[in-house]
Amino acid sequence: MKAATAAVQLRSFDGGVRIATRHCRPDRLAFWDDPDRDTRRIARGAGLSYAAASFSADAISTDHRSFDRILGFDAAGKTLEVEAGIALGKVYEFLAPRGFYLAVQPGHPSITIGGCIATDVHGKHQARDGTFEGHVRSLRLFHPDHGVLELSREQEPSLFELTCGGYGLTGDILSAKLAVVQLAAPRVLVTTTPLPDIRALPEALASASARADQLYSWHDFTARGDRFGHGYLIEGRWVTDRATEVHRPRPWHSRLDADNRGAFRLGCFNRLTTRPFNALYQRLLRRQSAPQQLELFDFLFPVHDKEVYFKLFGRRGFHELQVLVPVAAFPEFLQRLRAAIERLRLPVTLASAKLFRGERRLLRFTGDGICLAIDFPRSRRSAAFATAVDAMLPGLGGWPNLIKDSRLPLATVRATYPQYEQFCERLHAFDPRRLYRSEMSERLGL
């Protein structure tokens, strides 16, 4: 069955890439029976990736969001089977009242499970929970040359490994069986602790890691002098005295996508406004210094009610650089980062860090170190700054998150991902015609 296609302009969420292409939105499973074998294609979920991973000028984007059904749930075996187009928010609505949740979830409820697998996302406590791949028991993958394949660590383990964190380049992920975790309580007690000196961050994260159920930090990179990078450590712990409370998630609705993110013609962030913005946010965090209870939904998806933040960057958009740096190299990285920020007078609107643990594999964003994400508006200076960060990483043993940066150059990926060639070889061995393509895959020579 053919699905209607339409011409469309698609944008990366950060506003950096805009491409005229075609897309389709199949809604019946017969769509996979009779594929056009020569059409270049790529799967698309919520379209919230910062990099242009779900579209390309010469590939049809297949929107999976009509395939969003829950196919099976085994409370005793703690597994959930879903179609790949299902949004995290819908999974949450199903699991939470039954006393379960997904241990690893990125910050917005519209993101789809297919997107989580393809980009191997991390959650609020990567050092303890790992990345999304670790919670995928098995998946079904479609490729026009191979049909529908069942993949797991036991069945086709090599292709399973390539697909989890394969950026959608091995095929369309149709469905997945996921491990779910017993929910200790529907509420999280959030403690916000001041962190006056960012140089103490690695130690603070390491010492909080064992006791916290969720953990990250926020920093002010617009502050001057010794205050540069001061911030807060944000720890979440289950409210265990509410363990018996049945969670009834309230309805949520989001219209955030890459198009309406750029709804405002002009951006609001610049060198003048970003300092007061950070000061305001800091005041908000300071008010929360007494531990407070949050619904798990609000803690897991902190972005869902702060969507205006992304819109304030205006049509031109923003950069998010997310990098992982070994703990030993973190002070040096911070010093160089600060020098570049001050030299270019870059208005950093957000800086946030997490502790990471894991084994580096292929092009997945994991490993041991401190993960630092920073946001700043797109401008002439911002491109120079991003290039400066690219240059810092290889020497310090750090590496960037491919999905968070729509301009990341091939040279940086080659220099920072030791298994880049291996990923390419395995991908080409499985799909010699390279039918699945995105702007990101072409930019990175995948």
Partner 1 sequence: MTIVIVGASAGLGRALAEELARRGHPLLLAARDARDLQALAADLVLRFAVTVGTLAFDLADPQADWPALAATIARHGPLEGLYLPAGLSRRDDTGDLDASSIRTLVDANLTGIACLVTAVWPLLLAAPRATLAGFGSIAAVRGRRQNIVYAAAKRGLLSLFESLRHRAVGSGLHVQTFQVGFLDTQQTFGKRTLLPRASPQAAARRVAALLHRDCGTVWLPWSWRFIAMLVRAMPWLVFRRLDF
In the DSSP assignment, the letter for residue 245 is P
The piece of 42-50, 66-74, 182-190, 361-369 that touches partner 1 (CB under 8 A) is 66-74
Question: What span, in angstroms and rounded, lies between the C-alpha atoms of 84 and 338?
Answer: 40
**Quick one: tokens of 397?**
């043993």
Please list every residue from 236 through 295 that binds partner 1, using CB under 8 A: none
**Quick one: tokens of 442?**
């072409």
Please list every residue from 94 through 153 that binds partner 1, using CB under 8 A: 94
Closest CA to 312 of 260, 351, 275, 373: 260
Between 66 and 209, whose beta carbon lies closer to partner 1? 66
Between 25 and 414, whose beta carbon lies closer to partner 1? 25
Instruction: Centre a 10 Å sphere on the Cβ of residue 66 and count the other Cβ atoms it contains.
Output: 14
The piece of 24-32, 295-303, 313-321, 411-419 that touches partner 1 (CB under 8 A) is 24-32
Q: Which of 35, 39, 40, 66: binder of partner 1 (CB under 8 A)?
A: 66
Give whole-number Cα distances, 421 to 347, 394, 413, 415, 416, in Å: 36, 16, 10, 11, 12
Between 83 and 213, whose beta carbon lies closer to partner 1? 83
In the DSSP assignment, the letter for residue 228 is T
Q: Which of 18, 25, 316, 414: binder of partner 1 (CB under 8 A)?
A: 25
Interaction of residue 5 with partner 1, rule CB under 8 A: yes
Between 97 and 134, whose beta carbon lies closer to partner 1? 97
Residue 293, H or E segment = strand 292-295
CB-based contacts of 272, cutoff 8 Å, min separation 6:
none
Considering the complex, what minimum distance in angstroms separates the CB of residue 259 from partner 1?
A: 15
Distance of CA 261 to the CA centre of its chain: 17
Between 25 and 434, whose beta carbon lies closer to partner 1? 25
The phi, psi pair for 51, rounded to 5°, reads: -90, 160
Please list every residue from 198 through 227 that binds partner 1, using CB under 8 A: none
**Quick one: tokens of 46?**
């919520």
Q: Which of 10, 17, 19, 24: binder of partner 1 (CB under 8 A)?
A: 24
Q: Which of 9, 20, 36, 71: binder of partner 1 (CB under 8 A)?
A: 71
Please list every residue from 374 through 393 that binds partner 1, using CB under 8 A: none
The contact set with partner 1 (CB under 8 A) reads 3-7, 24-30, 66, 69-73, 83, 94
